[in-house]
Structure 1
Amino acid sequence: MQHFLSVDQLNEEEIYHLIALAKKCQQGIEQVKKPIFALNLFFEPSTRTKMSFTVAQKKLGLEVLDFNPDSSSVQKGESLYDTVKTLESIGADLLVIRHPDDDWAKQLGRNLSIPIINAGAGKLEHPSQCMLDLFTIYHEFNTFKDIRVTIVGDIKHSRVAHSNARALQRLGANISLCAAPEFKDTNLDFPYVSIDEAVEQSDVLMLLRIQHERHHEMNTTTNYLSTYGLTKERERKMKEKAIIMHPAPINRGVEIDEDLVECNRSRIFKQMENGVYMRMAIIQLLLKKWGIYDEDTI
């Protein structure tokens, strides 16, 4: 694995290895003693992912450099490839990139001598979010086999839904989708169920926000909660040990009732905590494969 671009590139053994490595990171590791420069390029707004990577990098002892596309040569017409090659040339050891284009990651894998981590590609891929979700689910159930997971919300525009559905199915989970008609994605070959069916049958109810920035034709969320969201009445019908997940940001009172965001079933903020450890694991694994992070650097 030269770059971390998609969970699809990992086999089951590699997925479980990353989960185990994230668990070790949770317990604490030594920081590197030599300078390793990590650069975060976010061409879309981000709070959780960007800050999670930053904290992960600092916990590993990396030197973290920020990049602001609004004050860069991107504004002069520089391509993503030339931006990346520039940063590689001036000494970056690791690049973490989020970009609105669906296929940017496929275009950068060639001709680079440093590792790249995909922190979000358009509406198709969010592999580090997928891995932290897998870590959270595995920690909860100690297995993926026959776990019933329903992903609920704006499936059509969610890179989280696309990455998670494929990965969880490969690991043996039973996947269903639930969405309003305008939010369905026929390219994902999984059965759709109603929100009431989802609530009653799921071990994991994974909620998604409505992505207005990608779905301009729908500008209202009136009655969405009562029709398609997780209300308190629906939550009471969930299985005894079922959990609620959400990649955030959360539209409180839209896809989920305000009172359920931090209820006993919710693992929403636990996902965010786990994201730091999983991203530490991904960074550590990549840097070791490239010979940048080894016994001589710690």
Structure 2
Amino acid sequence: MDVQIDHPTRKTLGEPGQQVRSVSVALPAGSLDVVTHADPNSAILEVDEVGGAPITVSFEQGVLKIEQYKDANGQVWGPLKGILGATVGAAFGGGQAGVTSRVTLTLPRAAKLSVKTVTADVLVGGLDGSVSAYGVSGSLTLDRLAGSLDVNLVSGDLEAASCSGELKAKTVSGRITVQDSPLRSIKLNSVSGAAIIDLSSGRCLITANAVSGDLTIRMPAAAGYDATVTSTSGHVVIDGQTLHSEDGKRGGHTHEGDRSVAIKARTVSGNVVVLREDPPPSAGPGPVVAQPHPDIDDVQDVRPQTPDSDEEI
């Protein structure tokens, strides 16, 4: 049974004994925050703002759907199926201006999540299940996620922190930033958006393709690497060394150490830089402890009294 929400409210969703396994959210504009709790059988929906169209909520056989806009055929954003070629106007089916909401959703950690937005900013944190996200110009922030991540954006920026598992990300002009993440696999496709990857683990396969977007990868200080990088006109610098192939083209193949970070990257004019994080500072000398000289008696540390004073100073 569908429930219509057209005003701010807070609802607990679910059925006794029925786990919330999969969640699908479709919101055009505004914001969506997704956090987690320990109860596997419920989700909490908090709507702080809703305008332009009601939010429709349904829950059946472990599948929760939260949708704010459907086209004339009852489909949620048919135009977003071809998201990389979509425009905001097309995504709204010819101009549904003012359709917006601000939503917070609390889910079980194991739930799988799918999000579709146009301009809404999205934050997802703490999930172990897989996450897929499709957006046009809204930003996407992923924090402490352990499942597989599949992201498609046009001009919106992606920021991921402390994520493990696998990441697939496609963007036209949006910036991709991955911070302090022990990801096992990263696959990136970009036109002009830059990508910065900061790995906290020394084992990862990175595959990247870009036109003019720059790619920067920072590895742990002790990690080895195996890098195959080519660029038509961009600079390629691997571990401080400019890389050229034997025929003089930019890029080539190089490796060092245990090859635990495997990199396959190709750009047209984008630069590719692979570097290491700074090694931890070495331990300095310990504190100096003064030792008494064997030929010197104990030194009095109290000022002796004088005839003019009867107090210790």
| TM-score bin (small chain) | under 0.3
Work out which structure has the larger RCO, using CA pairs closer than 8 Å and 6 or more positions apart in sequence: 1
**TM-score, structure 2 normalization:** 0.27
TM-score (normalised: structure 1):
0.28
Higher helix share: 1
Higher strand fraction: Structure 1 or Structure 2? 2
Q: Which has the larger radius of gyration?
A: 2
